[in-house]
């Protein structure tokens, strides 16, 4: 958000601080903590309502950027309670198509930045070599499907489902019906293969997590934000998947590519790479 403000000081709608979605400070941020795939439609409808009721916004003429990232809670708390875990893929596909269609039909001049959820193997691996009662307790509570002993034999299957979820996001984003002159969906790549850097003892660097060993720390969020910003400017087909030290690589619009990258404004050669 702050990056975009550098190029457009008229930007509006971002949250003005830490807030619940019911607080005025949330503005157009309708993301709910703990949300799963089947919550997306409600949040999309709430966002549409807020945009249409905001006197600052000309719905027909103002361009809108909407970020969607969903799936981690499905992996952490839903997948292991489903008698047919892989069925969450069909449900997510239907959810996502319905949400994107709803946004397209109600919000012209809209760019959707679809951010696939991280693969939870990253989190599971980060706990190896780091025994901690507090961390073990918190990860078992917050992500029981990945850490609960009862489900350990199913982990390889869950990992495959997570990878397929990411692939679905990428596939749906390039459906022709979601690529128009006044509406486009772009999948960002930075979250596809996240890995936590190692500390000097060759185990995951815990400074990339908060005290619960589950949520990312400010340092991690900053690096992901840097990567997402680069993804927004990188053409489809050559978006960076690996993150780097903060500001080691920070792209800016150029005279040759002054716009956020979409499928339509990426060259055929770039798409093939």
pLDDT tens string 19-41: 999 999 999 999 999 999 999 99
Q: Which residues pair with 216 in a beta bridge?
A: 209
Q: Which residues pair with 111 in a beta bridge?
A: 65, 184
**Tokens standing for 188?**
């960002």
- Please provide the average confidence, as pLDDT, over all residues in the chain: 93
Q: Which residues pair with 114 in a beta bridge?
A: 68, 187
In the predicted structure, residue 270 carries a pLDDT above the cut 60:
no
pLDDT at 10: 87
In this predicted model, which residue has the larger pLDDT, 183 or 242?
183
Beta strands at 64-68 and 179-180: parallel, antiparallel or unpaired: unpaired
Instruction: Show the CA angle centred on residue 153, arms to residues 147 and 158, nearest 5°.
Output: 70
pLDDT at 186: 97
């Amino acid at each position: 958000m702050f990056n975009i403000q550098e190029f457009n000081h008229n930007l509006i709608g971002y949250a003005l601080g830490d807030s619940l979605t019911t607080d005025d400070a949330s503005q157009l941020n309708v993301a709910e903590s703990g949300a799963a795939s089947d919550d997306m439609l409600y949040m999309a409808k709430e966002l549409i309502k807020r945009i249409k009721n905001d006197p600052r916004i000309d719905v027909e003429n103002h361009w809108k950027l909407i970020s969607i990232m969903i799936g981690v809670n499905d992996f952490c708390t839903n997948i292991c309670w489903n008698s047919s875990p892989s069925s969450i893929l069909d449900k997510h596909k239907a959810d996502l198509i319905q949400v994107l269609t709803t946004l397209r039909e109600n919000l012209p001049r809209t760019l959707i930045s679809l951010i696939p959820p991280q693969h939870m193997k990253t989190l599971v691996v980060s706990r190896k070599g780091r025994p901690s009662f507090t961390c073990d307790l918190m990860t078992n509570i917050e992500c029981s499907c990945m850490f609960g002993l009862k489900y350990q034999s199913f982990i390889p299957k869950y990992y495959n489902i997570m990878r397929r979820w990411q692939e679905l996001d990428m596939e749906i984003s390039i459906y022709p019906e979601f690529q128009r002159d006044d509406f486009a969906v772009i999948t960002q790549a930075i979250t596809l293969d996240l890995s936590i850097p190692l500390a000097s003892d060759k185990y995951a660097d815990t400074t990339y997590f908060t005290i619960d060993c589950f949520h990312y720390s400010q340092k991690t969020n900053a690096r992901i934000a840097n990567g997402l910003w680069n993804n927004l400017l990188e053409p489809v087909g050559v978006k960076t998947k690996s993150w780097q030290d903060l500001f080691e690589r920070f792209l800016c619009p150029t005279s040759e590519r002054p716009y956020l990258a979409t499928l339509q404004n990426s060259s055929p050669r770039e798409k093939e790479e």
